[in-house]
Amino acid sequence: MGLSTKGLTDYLQHPESNWQEYVYPGFKDSKNHHVCLSGSIPPNAPQLLSSGAFEDFITQAKEFYDIIIVDTAPTIPVTDTLLIADYADVTLFVARAGVTDKAVLQEANELNRRDKLKNMAFVLNDTKMGAKDSYSYSYKD
């Protein structure tokens, strides 16, 4: 997309700056699509995310945008994702049929059961079409 590498972590390190400086036009054919990249890799991501600057960023962005999608690392091994999820209205867990380990899905479901993720839903992609009006999928153990 030819974008700068300046992004969210850079804003979080300088929350006094204008949040919109870190948001770029996305697809050139869509005036309504914008992106904010992750930015430079910080040594202290969990600390940055819980500093209040992330909440400020999201609060300001919600006043400007109808829908905000935050693509994060998988929920299970990364603390950052759970910190970000606190500000989500919906959490989508995308699983790939035949690839995503069942144990990961069970752990995600447990986080949902314990109310660690809001309005959680699963999306199963890459399913193989079988007979008419049916599909099948399997998981690697």
Please list, in sequence order, all residues whose beta carbon lies within 8 angstroms of the beta carbon of residue 34, skipping any fewer than 6 positions away. 23, 24, 25, 26, 65
Counts for the chain of helices (H) and strands (E), in that order: 5, 6
**pLDDT digit string, tens, across residues 114-124:** 888 888 888 98
CA dihedral 79, 82, 87, 89 (to 10 degrees): 150
**pLDDT digit string, tens, across residues 41-90:** 888 888 888 889 999 999 999 999 999 988 877 666 567 778 888 888 88
